Amino acid sequence: GESVGLHLPTLSVQEGDNSIINCAYSNSASDYFIWYKQESGKGPQFIIDIRSNMDKRQGQRVTVLLNKTVKHLSLQIAATQPGDSAVYFCAETPTGANSKLTFGKGITLSVRP
C-alpha cells in the first residue's frame, strides 16, 4: 500500500492493494475524529469514527488509527476496490464544541484496475 499526507491531493493505488490515507490535525483539544468518503456529486458519507480514548478502531475493510502524541490520524483500506475511488476527508471536533466539525482539505483516492 501507499501512504500520503493531505498536502498531496491524489493517491493512486492498484486494485487489491491496501491504501493508507493520513491526516494531521492541530487542535490538541480535539477528541472525536471521523473519516468521510465523498463520491462525485454526492454529500460526504460517514466511514468510521474514533474517540480519543482509543488508538485503533476497525470496521469492514477499514481501520482508523489515532496517535494523539503527534496529532496524527490515518485511514487504512484493505483490498482496495474500484468503488473506493472518491475523495476522503478527516474531520475533528473537541469536547463541548457542539459537534462543529473541522474538516481537512481532502485527498482523492484513485483505484487502478
Q: Does 49 bind other proteins (CB under 8 A)?
A: yes
Q: Does 59 bind other proteins (CB under 8 A)?
A: no
> Could you give the CA distance from residue 94 to residue 80 in angstroms, rounded to a whole number?
31
Among 35, 44, 50, 109, binds other proteins (CB under 8 A): 44
Among 12-20, 26-34, 61-69, 73-81, the segment contacting other proteins (CB under 8 A): 26-34
> Could you give the CA distance from residue 97 to residue 99 in angstroms, rounded to a whole number?
5
Among 7, 26, 43, 113, binds other proteins (CB under 8 A): 43
Nearest distance in Å: CB 105, other proteins:
4
> Could you give the CA distance from residue 53 to residue 33 in angstroms, rounded to a whole number?
11
How would you classify the pairing of strands 10-14 and 107-112?
parallel
β-sheet with 62-67: strand ranges across: 2-4, 19-24, 72-77, 62-67, 56-58
- Contacting positions for other proteins (CB under 8 A): 9, 31-32, 34, 36, 41-46, 49, 51, 89, 91, 93, 95-106
